[in-house]
A and B are shown apart, each in its own frame.
Chain A
Amino acid sequence: MATKREYTTEDSSSSAKRPKMENGNGKLDAANNPYLAHWNDDKSNTANGLYDFKRHATTTKQASAAEDGPLNPFTGRSLSNRYMGILKQRRDLPVHKQRDEFLKLYQESQILVFVGETGSGKTTQIPQFVLFDDMPHKSAQMVACTQPRRVAAMSVAQRVAEEMDVELGEEVGYSIRFEDKTGPNTMLKYMTDGMLLREAMHDNNLTRYSTIILDEAHERTLATDILMGLLKEVVLRRKDLKLIIMSATLDATKFQKYFHNAPLLAVPGRTHPVEIFYTPAPERDYVEAALRTVLQIHATEDEGDILLFLTGEEEIEDACRKISLEAQDLVREDAAGPLVVYPLYGTLPPAQQQKIFSPAPPPTRPGGRPGRKCIVSTNIAETSLTIDGIVYVVDPGFSKQKVYNPRIRVESLLVSPISKASAQQRAGRAGRTRPGKCFRLYTESAFKKELIEQTYPEVLRSNLASTVLELKKLGVEDLVHFDLMDPPAPETLMRALEELNYLACLDDEGELTTLGSLASQFPLDPALAVMLIVSPEFYCSNEILSLTALLSVPQVFVRPASNRKRADEMKDLFAHPDGDHLTMLNVYHAFKSEEAQANPKQWCHDHFLSYRALQQADNVRLQLKRIMEREELELMSTSFENKKYYENIRRALVAGFFMQVAKRDGNGKAYMTVKDEQNVLLHPSTVLGQDSEWVVYNEFVLTTKNYIRTVTSVKPEWLLDIAPNYYDVAAFKKGEIKTALQRVATKIQRKEQEKGKR
């Protein structure tokens, strides 16, 4: 660590190099000895004045003086020129003007609600303001700042490390799932909200932190909501803990009320006015209207980039293709400048996501019409990504949103109208660099009447099984009165409890079982976690581990529209007659074979597989394997020659997914889910033949027809054997499924009787 420090100063001043040489010469001077650098810390602090800072009684003046240097108040090294440059920029940020006000409120109150529009600099500056006042290193504590997304946590930490002139991972670090870049010196830690929640499981009072900042609270992710509920209780137990809730929406009264009328500080952002346009009448086809609007803007409006919001990958790719074609036409007729179109969605490879930041193309000839870029995006560009240069926003008013129906236990992404808040957020994207325009493809009255005020938080639209497991692990006993900002529907909570009970994660009194506690260690859906934990009983934990990893990454099969037939042929190479789970496993094994590993990228391309997904699965598998080793779960395989090899895997599958079973309805193609009795069809992508009466499925897809995707055939005997609690025949509703199960049960009984006779 000490050597690393010295390394960082190398570029800042030539004098920093000298001690190294002296050191090499054997002249040991304690003051310059890098191995004794920690001795210097106190001294340098004295020199800088941070030493005589009184905790929670500092002023902006003091802090500014410390910031000015010449030595870094936190490390004692001299500050680089670059730092000075950045410092100047930082002082121009809108938050800086209200630093005094912030400090006053921060010192006075335990909880503070901070509202800053995008561009106010809150995410990078506020934590630093806190550092100068809180000085967590003096009490060996830390300041935590949570972010909803991993990428944000990483990039912001990087930026703040630069601003503070320290090495990332030393004084400033980040911690995200599967990656921890912090050190013993870390005093400011950016992390995902999920990570802080995980830490809270082991340390219910979060004693490592002196201040916790929940950033982007307005996004209301599941983890942030639960953290808020949790921290609301923690601040009562720990009077020394300070809490800052940062939000980007001006309507923060809800946050204030929720946190016992905490004081509010609002900082205006640096945004320009955006003119809003509506259509005079509803559009018959919003995609077509969107394309036309983009082209019209391109042909008629001043320079400035376009951001178009659409709902999904397929729609976006399709739109991109059409826009570029038409734009080429326009260019050919010299009606407009060049236009580059970039898609943007979550599953896009990072390299391609990065492309959206490239500048707009230059005019085709000198003095010609300026070029323009157009980004066609899902709602990730709404809040999470900031693209400068956007002047025009086209908003059809839809996005894909997750909804959960506890009655039929289906969580699905459906295209639905956005909220007013979300529409405003989208429009705001046009005013980042200069006054912009937002074209809404709906009428003003539709905006007023058809859109809900706020987007529903994630906690209201998710399956809560893993959340309930986490809460139980966090020591929350009374789930009914747990103080969430938006409590979920009672039926959703009931379903979650029941699922956990059937999975034996909760006992009949609702207490966490050993299995449940173990399952909460895995960052997985409870059903997957349980399947993984019990897999050693079926002698196939290696295979189930691979399968779990494959099921927690995006689809591995690629089926491009231009080459569907070939893709299907390639898929058939891996097909296993018993189902898609086994097919996926075959893919993974083939991927890991020497032949494929020689050039995995090419191999995946040739076989129509997603290299990224497989690589990701490989990574997840490694992480899960570590957890399994830590929890001393045995890793084993049935020998491949054994004819029970695949049967064992299928049985293990039942152990986790016995609640997602469907039985064929009569002799047709239709299936019916067990217990919930929903009519479903096998998804066309399945490799499974029509001859399996019982199947387990991974996913229930809600469209005009209900599909079950990723299915594998199972035997009804296994269901009764492995999950007797769930398949308690007497409790079933009268019907075909009940009679079928009864028949199986009597058959088993008869067999056993015969055995007994022998």
Chain B
Amino acid sequence: MGLAAPKNRSKISNDPQNTTWANNTERFGHKILTSQGWTPGASLGATDAAHKAHYTAASQSHIRVFLKDDNLGLGAKRGSERAENFGLAGFASILGRLNGKEEEVKKEEERQEKIQQRAYVYQKFGMMNFVSGGYLVGDKIEKGVKKEIEPESSDNEVTEKKSKKRKRSGEEEVKKGDEEEPKLKRKKKSVSLREEAAKVDAALKATTKSKKDKKAKSASETPAIDSEPLSDKARRKAEKRARKEEKKLKKALKKAAKEAAKSNPTTEDPSSESSDEEESTSANSVPTTGTSTPSGLTYNPRGMHAVRQRYIRQKKMASMDPQALKEIFMIKTPS
């Protein structure tokens, strides 16, 4: 918690557990219970009950619950997300190495790094990040089902449906086959916001496409679940192919990003596109963006807040763009 945590003063009673009562054996209740054959320390219930093995600790003493006065999620601890600030993680890994557990330590570090990377991306987009934990069939979680779709779910670890849809540009869609799809997702995740914006025009078309596509995909995914696992070889091959294609894609994306970086400011210019075009002041803007909201397909988790942020961003960009500045200050000099 540290010094910065909110102060929460509360007076604790002299005897919050009321041991005065608990330790008093002269009480009426105690008397009645012992007279009926109860001995202190024993639990109640029929003698030699067949189901005694199922008794829980709550049959011995009342249920104790931590008072929860915050919105901390299950398993989260205050301040735990900043463990690295204290260098404890590093210390632990050193100790691990000294103990000769090099491999485990490395694995753990890699895992942490992965999580952090992912968390960064997700935080940036304000998205939720999930990991599949198998299927619930009847009353039990069946990991077996999960294994069957391993070729998918192994890279599919990150199930981010969101970015899948919104970042898919037309060309990607054409190329992508069923197996490579999860890979794509993963790559796309690391694509920066910029690139995304670059594909705004393509995205509009993709809206309709991706919807169809999604349906098609879900159709193709379900059979994959039911069908027998691909043979290892075939799977590996497919993965390889996927990786190659992915690399290609990455390159293409980067290119697109560079282009986008140039075009971006103007697309997001506060002055409406239509006026832009008429005055043809923005020479380097993409001719017809087609959509007035560049983030038409993006999912803004922070809603209103994000809209405001966007305006701020646009203003900033405008102030950095000489062309726009000229417009704002109505300087009429031939550029």
Q: Which A residues contact B (CB, under 8 angstroms)?
A: 117, 249-251, 254, 257-258, 260-261, 268-269, 271, 273-289, 292-293, 295-296, 299-302, 325-326, 329-330, 333-336, 369, 396-398, 401, 403-408, 414-417, 424, 427-428, 431, 435, 438-447, 450-451, 454, 456, 460-461, 478-498, 501, 508, 510, 670, 672, 675-679, 702-705, 733
Contacts and interface: CB of A to CB of B under 8 A. Distances in A.
Contacts of A501: 28-29
B332 interface: no
Contacts of A424: 136, 139-141
Contacts of A302: 214-215, 218
Contacts of B8: 704
A485 B51 contact: yes
Nearest to A276: B133
Given A274-B135, A407-B17, A456-B56, A286 B71 contact: yes
Contacts of A281: 81, 115, 119
B250 interface: no
B275 interface: no
B300 to A, nearest CB: 7
Interface stretch (B85-93, B169-177, B193-201, B301-309): B301-309
14 contacts: A269-B138, A271-B138, A275-B132, A276-B141, A277-B131, A279-B128, A279-B129, A284-B72, A292-B127, A403-B65, A405-B62, A489-B43, A491-B61, A679-B12
A246 to B, nearest CB: 15
Given A268-B138, A271-B138, A335-B299, A300 B161 contact: yes
Contacts of A450: 74-75
Contact of A487 (B55, B134, B304): B55
A398 B131 CA distance: 20
Given A249-B139, A284-B76, A481 B37 contact: yes
Interface in B273-297: 293, 295-297
Contacts of B32: 479, 494, 497, 510
Contact of B72 (A286, A293, A439): A286
Contact of B58 (A279, A460, A705): A460
B74 A417 contact: yes
B186 to A, nearest CB: 14
A193 to B, nearest CB: 20
B44 A438 contact: no
Which of B8, B37, B69, B134 is most buried by chain A, counting CB atoms within 10 A of its CB?
B134
A685 B335 CA distance: 69
Given A417-B74, A677-B13, A704-B8, A280 B68 contact: no
B313 interface: no
A678 B13 contact: yes
Contact of B74 (A286, A299, A439): A286
Nearest to A414: B65
A475 to B, nearest CB: 15
A75 to B, nearest CB: 39
A396 B49 contact: no
A582 to B, nearest CB: 29
Contacts of B207: 334
B137 interface: yes
Interface stretch (B18-26, B97-105, B235-243, B257-265): B18-26
Given A282-B75, A487-B59, A678 B136 contact: no
A494 B33 contact: yes
Nearest to A249: B139
B135 A276 contact: yes
Given A268-B138, A287-B71, A329 B63 contact: no
B136 A486 contact: no
Contact of A456 (B19, B21, B40, B58): B58
Contact of A486 (B58, B71, B133, B307): B58
Interface string B24-47: 000111101101111010111111
A249 B138 CA distance: 9
Mostly, the B contact residues are loop
| A-B complex: 10 closest residue pairs judged by Cβ atoms | A494-B29, A283-B73, A446-B75, A487-B45, A282-B76, A487-B44, A277-B130, A483-B46, A442-B74, A300-B161
Contact of A278 (B29, B51, B130, B296): B130
B14 interface: yes
B133 A676 contact: no
B51 A273 contact: no
A307 to B, nearest CB: 14
> Size range of the interface on B?
35 or more
A726 B49 CA distance: 37
A25 B301 CA distance: 76
Interface in B99-131: 115, 118-119, 126-131
B75 A443 contact: yes
Contacts of B49: 258, 483
Nearest to A326: B303
A497 B29 contact: yes
A508 B164 CA distance: 73
Given A282-B76, A329-B300, A508-B28, A406 B62 contact: yes
A493 B301 CA distance: 51
Contacts of B40: 490
Contact of B307 (A295, A329, A485): A329
A259 to B, nearest CB: 9
A489 B59 contact: yes
B15 interface: yes
B4 to A, nearest CB: 15
Contact of A404 (B56, B62, B129, B165): B62
A456 B29 CA distance: 24
A195 to B, nearest CB: 26
Contact of A275 (B67, B118, B135): B135
A286 B73 contact: yes
A295 B76 CA distance: 22
Given A257-B51, A676-B18, A703 B67 contact: yes
A285 B72 contact: yes
A407 B21 contact: yes
A461 B63 contact: yes
Given A280-B118, A282-B80, 16 more contacts: A117-B138, A254-B51, A260-B50, A326-B303, A334-B293, A404-B63, A416-B66, A424-B141, A442-B73, A454-B56, A483-B45, A486-B58, A489-B58, A490-B43, A510-B35, A678-B18
Contacts of B53: 257
A197 to B, nearest CB: 19
Contacts of A283: 73-74, 76
A622 B182 CA distance: 65
B11 interface: yes
B44 A490 contact: yes
A193 B112 CA distance: 51
Contacts of A445: 75
B211 interface: yes
B162 A300 contact: yes
B298 interface: yes
Contacts of B271: none
A439 B51 CA distance: 35
Nearest to B162: A300
A106 to B, nearest CB: 22
Nearest to B38: A480
Which of A336, A407, A414, A508 is most buried by chain B, counting CB atoms within 10 A of its CB?
A407
Contacts of B58: 456, 460-461, 486, 489
A287 B74 CA distance: 11
Nearest to A332: B293
Contacts of A484: 44-45
B33 A493 contact: yes
Contact of B69 (A293, A460, A508, A704): A704
A669 B134 CA distance: 54
A151 B95 CA distance: 60
Contacts of A296: 127-128, 161-162, 299, 301
A250 B139 contact: yes
A292 B128 contact: yes
Which of A258, A454, A487, A675 is most buried by chain B, counting CB atoms within 10 A of its CB?
A487
